[in-house]
Homo-oligomer: A and B are copies of this chain.
């Protein structure tokens, strides 16, 4: 009996219907809370908790605690690849993702989160900057601006010297409420939002967290992110 790679252990993680339902619910890359995943799997919270612990221990899920919530997401692309290989096998399509987040479309699109941009536009900002190599991130969520990053930020009038000195981290990621993906927080997140407002690409709606982009502002925003 030859001792091969421990495929069975990994497969067993997915082999339970409740766990596979949870994994499928996370296939779009969002992060969901334990309670939401319990709902998606149709089991109680206690049971879900034990399943989630197994998935996290087994390396299939990454956990992120935020306040009293715990957000779970797929540990990486290899997990998604595995699920896709299984779906090829069963030949079915993915289920419809559960509805989450704010109901108002304007809030989903762009809003202020403490002092930085959140919602679709905030997530786009973060992910495009990451994809273009303007930010170098480690897994802990700490980020640094690269040299090309500073050059790019200068295009909207942001220079290192324009940022205040503070203990607060320059650059953080923050899990987005509606998108369940990370957006850009920290001093840089605030500074960028300030510039967007100063450039009149967007403005705050009074008495609400909504940030409304002007059509021209949205166009320039996307052009800037390339």
| A1 within 8 Å of B (CB atoms) | yes
| A216 within 8 Å of B (CB atoms) | no
Whether A15 contacts B8 in the complex (CB less than 8 A), given A79-B89, A89-B82, comes out as yes
Q: Per a CB cutoff under 8 Å, which of B1, B5, B89, B92 touches A59?
A: B89
- How many copies of this chain? 2
17 residue pairs bridging A and B, Cβ less than 8 Å apart: A1-B42, A2-B24, A2-B25, A2-B96, A4-B24, A5-B24, A5-B91, A5-B92, A5-B94, A5-B95, A11-B11, A11-B13, A11-B15, A81-B88, A82-B82, A82-B85, A82-B86
Chain A interface residue number, banded: 35 or more
A residues at B contact (CB < 8 Å): 1-17, 19-21, 23-25, 39-42, 59, 78-79, 81-96, 98
By Cβ-Cβ distance, the 10 closest A-B pairs, closest first, are A1-B42, A5-B92, A11-B14, A2-B95, A15-B15, A12-B15, A4-B95, A8-B20, A11-B15, A85-B85
Q: How long is the Cα–Cα vector from A78 to B85 in the complex, in angstroms? A: 7
Q: Per a CB cutoff under 8 Å, which of B1, B4, B90 touches A5?
A: B90
Q: Across the interface, which residues of B come within 8 angstroms of A17, CB to CB?
A: 8
Residue of B nearest to A91 (CB): B5
Q: Across the interface, which residues of B come within 8 angstroms of A98, CB to CB?
A: 2
Q: Across the interface, which residues of B come within 8 angstroms of A13, CB to CB?
A: 11
Whether A90 contacts B9 in the complex (CB less than 8 A), given A15-B15, A81-B85, A85-B78, comes out as yes
In the complex, are the beta carbons of B8 and A19 less than 8 A apart? yes
In the complex, are the beta carbons of B20 and A11 less than 8 A apart? yes
